[in-house]
Structure 1
Amino acid sequence: MSNNNTPIIVGVGQFVSRETPTHGHVLSALDIAGEAGRRALHDAGAKTDLNAQVEVMAVLRLFEDSTRKVAIVNNPFGGSNNVPGSIARRIGVSPRENIYCAVGGQTPQRLVNQMSERIHRGEIGCALLVGGEAIANIKYATRNGIEIDWNEELDDDFTDLWPVNNADNMVSAYEMAHGLFLPVQAYPLFENVWRHKAGHSVEQHRRVMGTLFSRFTQVAAANEYAQFPTVRSAEYLATPSAENYLLSEPYTKWMVAQDSVNQGAAVLLTSVGNARAWGIPEQQWVSLHGYGDCDDVNVIDRPDLSVSHAQNLAVGRALESAGRRIDEIAHIDAYSCFPIAVLSACTAMGLDPATEHPLTLTGGLPFFGGPGNNYAMHGIAEAVARVRGEPGSYALVIANGGYLSKHSVGVYGAAPLAEWRAVDSSEIKQQLQAHPRAPVTETPHGAGVIESYVAAYRRGQPAIGYIIGRQASDDRRFLAIAADGDGDTLNGLFDSEPLGRAVDVTRRDGVNQFRFASD
């Protein structure tokens, strides 16, 4: 029998809206998150009113609030000055602690890890984790001139984790000055190195990515909460077209996370003792059997750009702490904002990416939908449903934030552990710090070789190009851009195989610039 303080998940809720907004009826992200929270409370099936039991509510940060320097979502309709408080009112709960979380796709899984520890220590008795996005509604209303006023003013206190948010620390000033910021202009750095190591041309790798993600579309098509429940073939995904246009080499539109969604998800946690006292049926209980958290160093410092060593460590710690091998895991949800996120996760799990084992429970961020920082909450909800439906089975959720930067992983099973133990990730964090780093120079000069690159489009035309290279004189890594107006250099990133090509690097106004070396 499990101890009374063993933490368990007792409720999950998901919501999706595919309705076309109309004047007077446009769901906000707070409305969507509120509905997901209500569903999670109802899902527990308690004999007691659980609304009165929620002590802590943690809300995933809206995408529109996730950057300060560059807006990634333009919301002209306003919002709440207290997002957690507004969602709590919609759900009908009055937590003593309302939290507005930090940034990152790892956050839902990290919250489950953290709240489980707090419940186990007896600090809290019940926590509700909730998030939602209404970016599709925002975009539709903006395009169609629908007027909305989502402004809300509350006097209640809440904890805003932005001051301790590490999003700004994921990228250095040096990296940002040379173009590394938006994910679609960062993940190609990893993807191109992976394909080069695999011996693929750009076109060959597009077919590999198309095959991988075509299987994800089949899962999304069968998921009632998917935003885009359509089966798409490998050929369709790999072939640029007017509808599936190129974004950044080697990605087409449908190979990357789609944030134009209206989706919400929530998870309710408590202890075994409380679950018994509140009359929550045991068939609703799901336990976190193992977990791991580890954040990687900045992109420029990673010795191998095709993988994340921090992800390897986090996945390994989660499986080890659960006492499970990967072949004992029946259900896997690998974060899938870009194909390389799945390929890197396969490396961490020791799986061939061509495996027939499904690698998503939702359908993935491009096809299920990519609701900002909250996607992994949907993955956890699906994992809970799977292990409830197959007692004795285990599920693995791999969550990723930033640029393969922040990793949180959980192993789930329906049977609560007889003796639950908190997992110490400090050792793997020390291992990460001891791991070799690439030598870097911020002031390269002269000859170099391209190690990886980004070639991004704007409205179908080559627009942005930068490289990570190695200085010929000492093999130190550097960043450099194609100078404005240098069409020959920019086009060279799109028209040929840039990897391994020789370049000449100069520095101007604090920014490194490159040209292809003369033959």
Structure 2
Amino acid sequence: MSSARQEASTVDPTRVPVIVAVGETSGRGEPVGVEPMELITRAATAALQDSPTSEPWIRRADSIALCHIASWAYSSPAAALGRKLGATPTDVFDAPIGGQWPARLLDRAASRIASGESTVAVIAGGEAQASMGALVKAGREPVRDGGWSADPGGPPTFDLDQLGSAAMQEAGLITPVRIYPLFESRFRFEAGLDPESRLAECSDLYAEFSVVAEKNPFSWNGRARTAADIGTPSPKNRIVCEPYPLSMNAMPFVDQAACIVVTSLAEARERGVPEGDIVFVWGGAGAEDSVDILDRSDFGRSSAMEDAMDRALRAAEIGVERLDVVDVYSCFPIVPTLATRHLGTPKSLVPSVTGGHSSFGGPLSSHSLHSITASVREIRGGKSCALVHANGGYLTYHHSVLLGGDQHPLGYVGNPEPAVLTPEPPPRAPVQDGTLVVETVSVEHSRQQEPNQAFLVARDERGRRVAAQTAPGDKASARALSLYRTDPAREIIGTAVTVDTIEGNIRVRSSE
């Protein structure tokens, strides 16, 4: 026996967290109209059927945690799921909004099992944005006409500060489709790539993702696409915000749900779960960056992402070479790009086991639950170690978790509480008439497929950061800041532009 296995054999099996059952459901190809809690219940039922034993894992759950549901409001979805499944948990947790929560909730469940606070934990989540959209389009009322829950019912509310800081909102930086391209453009510039070369990289990556999605029975689109199809703008694949066409944006209008059951190694063995069906939760790590993206020191990287992945690997005492499964959050191509470049994973290792948000589907805060369930299937199929990365906000909240086919020598080595990074923010200034050096920019296109509005982050003559937007429909200014100007060889990032301020917006007077 190796020293590692000798060490593992001394770990109390009641303190070793494992996944024993997973379930997923997708409404693709089915009539729309099902509400989120029904989808989640179906995923939980699928998890029960996934277990090779007759053990009623979910009814025995002492902990139930649910990811945030955006498509419909429930007063306490975790408690509601428990009632539906006959469970009486002492710990119920309804996570706030954020794509990082599936990995963090798994780490939380594993930590509670390792400490003896919990014996059986359930983590679930799902969305029914496709059904919700179809009901609204058909003029049907979900409660009256669809039988959806009225507890309390209706679309969930959110605070304005969830859109970003006051400075971000003033500059129009309030949606993912506008903000992630800011990181994309700065990364491209720092990597020394021209827009066409970088777009080709993104197209190749998402074409690989689509092949994965085609093989995933729970994907929403499920159709392999070529890089040319993904990367070529067209009326059906219009550019949303440069440089991303629609095919590189997350697809939230889906009906999908997933469920995971976590227990201890001792429980799994006592209840007769075959060794080949047990997947070990080694642990994870999280990190949070500044909520205000204008306080970030650099748009070309994500320090919080790097920290979350690095600390998870260090705690497990492994290197990247041990990973044979990697799934990185992929709401936009910049996220898996930053992760894989930092990790140094080989190009042969596609960083998705679901197929990504654009092809598999992007059920908002619960997407990475599907990444975890798919990784479990990969490990059951013979893979040895998986890293799942989950991201929330605007590259703000990160959590990574490691799964293994064998027990880690130290048992559980995770930490569900994220590190909070506090970098020194750059000096900032209000926008004024004058010359600005472009730090990064995002240009939104109209449905007529032309630049319509720009969102600029720049430095003034004193090196202070400035954020501003052009007026909607000021096509001349948007075109002046576009990646796709008349001369594509001219780089917009790092160049100087002269602007005038008009009613809180900027108008580009000239550019170098």
Equivalent residue of 1:318, what SS? helix
Q: CA deviation at 1:121?
A: 1.2
Q: CA deviation at 1:403?
A: 0.8
Equivalent residue of 1:503, what SS? strand
Q: 1:418 to 1:195 in 2, by over 3 A?
A: closer
Q: 1:518 to 1:169 in 2, by over 3 A?
A: closer
Task: Indicate whether 1:94 and 2:88 are aligned.
Answer: yes
Q: 1:485 to 1:339 in 2, by over 3 A?
A: closer
Question: Equivalent residue for 1:375?
Answer: 367
Matching residue within 263, 268, 286 for 1:293: 286
In the alignment, the residues of structure 1 paired with residue 415 and residue 257 of structure 2 have an alpha-carbon distance, to the nearest angstrom, of: 30
Question: Equivalent residue for 1:216?
Answer: 209
Matching residue within 216, 235, 239 for 2:228: 235
* 8 Å CA contact 2:57, 2:261 repeated in 1: no
* 8 Å CA contact 1:21, 1:141 repeated in 2: no
* 8 Å CA contact 2:58, 2:122 repeated in 1: no
Equivalent residue of 1:186, what SS? helix
Equivalent residue of 1:118, what SS? helix
Q: 1:6 to 1:251 in 2, by over 3 A?
A: same
* 8 Å CA contact 1:105, 1:375 repeated in 2: yes
Q: 1:271 to 1:168 in 2, by over 3 A?
A: farther
Counterpart of 1:44 in structure 2: which amino acid? S
Equivalent runs, 1:99-498 vs 2, <5 Å: 99-149=93-143, 150-153=147-150, 168=161, 171-297=164-290, 298-351=292-345, 355-390=347-382, 393-424=384-415, 429=419, 432-433=421-422, 435-442=423-430, 446-460=434-448, 461-472=450-461, 474-483=462-471, 486-494=474-482, 495-496=484-485, 497-498=491-492
Matching residue within 55, 60, 63 for 2:70: 63
**Is 194-203 or 99-108 further displaced after alignment?**
194-203
Return 5+ residue gaps in structure 2 as ranges: 1-8, 486-490
* 8 Å CA contact 1:106, 1:400 repeated in 2: yes
In the alignment, the residues of structure 2 paired with residue 170 and residue 438 of structure 1 have an alpha-carbon distance, to the nearest angstrom, of: 21
In the alignment, the residues of structure 1 paired with residue 204 and residue 274 of structure 2 have an alpha-carbon distance, to the nearest angstrom, of: 41
Q: 1:481 to 1:289 in 2, by over 3 A?
A: same
Matching residue within 14, 17, 30 for 2:24: 14
Counterpart of 1:414 in structure 2: which amino acid? G
TM-score, structure 2 normalization: 0.88
Equivalent residue of 1:57, what SS? strand
**Is 44-53 or 402-411 further displaced after alignment?**
44-53
Equivalent residue of 1:35, what SS? helix
Q: 1:305 to 1:8 in 2, by over 3 A?
A: same
* 8 Å CA contact 2:181, 2:442 repeated in 1: yes
* 8 Å CA contact 2:219, 2:360 repeated in 1: yes
Equivalent residue of 1:311, what SS? helix
Matched-pair identity in %: 29
* 8 Å CA contact 2:295, 2:425 repeated in 1: yes
RMSD between superposed Cα atoms in Å:
2.6
In the alignment, the residues of structure 1 paired with residue 239 and residue 473 of structure 2 have an alpha-carbon distance, to the nearest angstrom, of: 22
In the alignment, the residues of structure 2 paired with residue 116 and residue 514 of structure 1 have an alpha-carbon distance, to the nearest angstrom, of: 53
Q: CA deviation at 1:255?
A: 0.7
Q: 1:199 to 1:139 in 2, by over 3 A?
A: same
In the alignment, the residues of structure 1 paired with residue 78 and residue 309 of structure 2 have an alpha-carbon distance, to the nearest angstrom, of: 31
In the alignment, the residues of structure 2 paired with residue 239 and residue 486 of structure 1 have an alpha-carbon distance, to the nearest angstrom, of: 25
Equivalent residue of 2:205, what SS? helix
In the alignment, the residues of structure 2 paired with residue 485 and residue 344 of structure 1 have an alpha-carbon distance, to the nearest angstrom, of: 32
**Is 442-451 or 174-183 further displaced after alignment?**
442-451
In the alignment, the residues of structure 1 paired with residue 217 and residue 189 of structure 2 have an alpha-carbon distance, to the nearest angstrom, of: 38
TM-score, structure 1 normalization: 0.87
Return 5+ residue gaps in structure 1 as ranges: 66-78, 156-161
Q: CA deviation at 1:37?
A: 1.2
* 8 Å CA contact 1:167, 1:402 repeated in 2: no
Equivalent residue of 1:366, what SS? helix
Q: CA deviation at 1:54?
A: 0.6
Task: Provide the aligned length of Structure 1 versus Structure 2.
Answer: 488
In the alignment, the residues of structure 2 paired with residue 330 and residue 485 of structure 1 have an alpha-carbon distance, to the nearest angstrom, of: 48
Equivalent residue of 2:358, what SS? coil
Q: CA deviation at 1:480?
A: 1.2
User: CA offsets, 1:46-90, max 9 Å, x none?
Assistant: 34322331111111111246xxxxxxxxxxxxx543333333344
Q: 1:207 to 1:382 in 2, by over 3 A?
A: same
In the alignment, the residues of structure 2 paired with residue 82 and residue 88 of structure 1 have an alpha-carbon distance, to the nearest angstrom, of: 10
In the alignment, the residues of structure 1 paired with residue 254 and residue 379 of structure 2 have an alpha-carbon distance, to the nearest angstrom, of: 27
In the alignment, the residues of structure 2 paired with residue 332 and residue 513 of structure 1 have an alpha-carbon distance, to the nearest angstrom, of: 42
Structure 1 runs of 4+ aligned residues shifted over 6 Å read none
Equivalent residue of 1:358, what SS? coil
Counterpart of 2:57 in structure 1: which amino acid? L
Counterpart of 2:247 in structure 1: which amino acid? W
